Amino acid sequence: MANSSIAANLLQRIQSRQARCGVVGLGYVGLPLAVEFGRAGFVTTGIDLSARKVDAINDGRSYIDDVPTDHVAALRRAGKLSATTNFDVVGELDTINICVPTPLGKAKDPDLSFIVSATEAVAVHLHPGMLIVLESTTYPGTTEELVQPILERGGLKAGRDFFLAFSPERVDPGNKTFQTANVPKVVGGMTPDCSELAAALYGSAIQTIVPVSSPSVAEMVKLLENTFRAVNIGLVNELALMCDRLGIDVWEVVRAAATKPFGFMPFYPGPGLGGHCIPIDPFYLSWKARQSGFEARFIELAGAVNGSMPHHVVSLVADALNSICKPLNGSRVLVAGVAYKRDVDDVRESPALDILTLLRERGAELMYSDPFVPQLPGSLWRDGIDLEHVDLASLSPGACDCAVVVTDHSSFDYAALQRAACVVVDTRNAIRNPGPHVFRLGAGRRAEQPIEAAALA
């Protein structure tokens, strides 16, 4: 039970669904969370600086594939969900979840400006009895070293007058099995009351709560989860480069190793890391380690391997074009898939952006196909140009000299792609029964002589 009367009062409001909830940041993390709070019976307000997102929610529309529009519309009709760009509403709320981005700066150091600005806006309207939970991925110590001092500037104290916790987001966009409601939620509070209140709030909407002893532990949990993936992907990417040299098919190796029922978990190579977590989180961890005088060599080496993969992909494109006696300079290259993962529309940190940049630097004429990304502004990639999605079915045979499968969307017509390209580089092992003009990442194949024209027919 809560130790103070303020905590006991908020706990009662949460348990009776009388608490008014707020979610700052209505992206892939914030909107699903706000919807789950609304479906659990709370009157929930989303806060975002994007008028487009706010208008969509208030019109009963979802802009995220993982959140059905029907759910948003039903919550709007029931008066359980609304959105605003005005932080003044914080003064009327009992709980706030901060779900804003945490990108990397140019020097690969943490950019916490979104957390700072959101926390400062909340602090203006902070009142006794509120619960504040940070969900944004960050380095261990952020909640206590950065967020707490900002919130306490007005004289209120965390754990006494208001309550503060960290709970890492675990969103996997496009995952049809595990979504916000059924992914276990790790919660670490500043004090026992903080932990109890945060657990009660999440427990009303999420099936399993995993309490830990502090915000720093919860922050480290998130970094471990994603660094685990980044390091293992780095391992298998290095293995793919090795297999290329040894003439061994890395995909066959991983597939066979995965039959072991213990002690092995399959990871797969690819063109590089993308998304809002895995390419970024290990840098947060290694940055924090350096601040304490520790060098995270293993983690940084995996980052270097993964970061080199776009360069390797471009070298495969050059090899593939050489096999048909064409230089990369001046060749028409189609990039198939610019989203960072299959069947999503998110291009954040996508390796396709680096691949496009490198190809353009070497003189390639570029086009791309991605049904989830209708336009690709040049502002999203270094020295980029504006491009528009090209439907594979509309391409005539030989429309491009080389196609590169970067993101293996399930809707892609790979037969049409092979017809449209003289040679194909497949970085995802997406093409089944590939012909002689298909070069696969990590498959150990290098054409020693030009491919005959008849083989391309």
Domains of the chain in start order, with CATH, are 5-213 (3.40.50.720), 302-456 (3.40.50.720)
Decide if 277 is catalytic.
yes
When pLDDT is averaged across residues 285-298 and rounded to a whole number, the result is 86
pLDDT at 359: 97
Q: What is the pTM of this model?
A: 0.89
When pLDDT is averaged across residues 363-375 and rounded to a whole number, the result is 97
pLDDT at 452: 45
Rounded to 5 degrees, what are φ and ψ at 270?
A: -175, -175
pLDDT at 454: 35
Q: How confident is the model at residue 182 (pLDDT cuts 50, 70, 90)?
A: very high
When pLDDT is averaged across residues 420-444 and rounded to a whole number, the result is 93
Contact call for residues 244 and 253 (beta carbons, < 8 A): no
> Sign of the C-alpha dihedral, residues 246, 250, 253, 258?
positive
- HEC per residue, the chain: CCCCHHHHHHHHHHHCCCCEEEEECCCCCHHHHHHHHHHCCCEEEEECCCHHHHHHHHCCCCCCCCCCHHHHHHHHHCCCEEEECCHHHHHHCCEEEECCCCCECCCCCECCHHHHHHHHHHHHCCCCCCEEEECCCCCCCHHHHHHHHHHHHHCCCECCCEEEEECCCCCCCCCCCCCHHHCCEEEEECCHHHHHHHHHHHHCCCCCEEEECCHHHHHHHHHHHHHHHHHHHHHHHHHHHHHHHHCCCHHHHHHHHCCCCCCCCCCCCCCCCCCCCCCCHHHHHHHHHHHCCCCCHHHHHHHHHHHHHHHHHHHHHHHHHHCCCCCCCCCEEEEECCCCCCCCCCCCCCHHHHHHHHHHHCCCEEEEECCCCCEECHHHCCCCCCEEECCHHHCCCCCEEEEEECCCCCCCCHHHHHHHEEEEEECCCCCCCCCCCEEECCCCCCCCCCCCHHHHC
More confident call, 120 vs 3: 120
- Judged against a pLDDT cut of 60, whether residue 427 lies above it is answered with yes
Say which of 277, 400, 402, 422 is annotated catalytic.
277
Q: How confident is the model at residue 455 (pLDDT cuts 50, 70, 90)?
A: very low
Helix 215-246 to helix 297-322 angle (10° resolution) is 40
- Judged against a pLDDT cut of 70, whether residue 227 lies above it is answered with yes
pLDDT at 445: 58
**CA–CA distances in Å: residue 454 to residues 325, 393, 430, 457:** 15, 23, 24, 5
51 by Cβ neighbours in 10 Å (0-12 / 13-18 / 19+) ranks as exposed
Average pLDDT score, the chain: 93
pLDDT at 175: 87
pLDDT digits (tens, 9 = 90+) for 76-121: 999 999 999 999 999 999 999 999 999 877 667 788 999 999 999 9
pLDDT at 305: 94
pLDDT digits (tens, 9 = 90+) for 122-143: 999 999 999 999 999 999 999 9
CA 158 to chain centre: 31
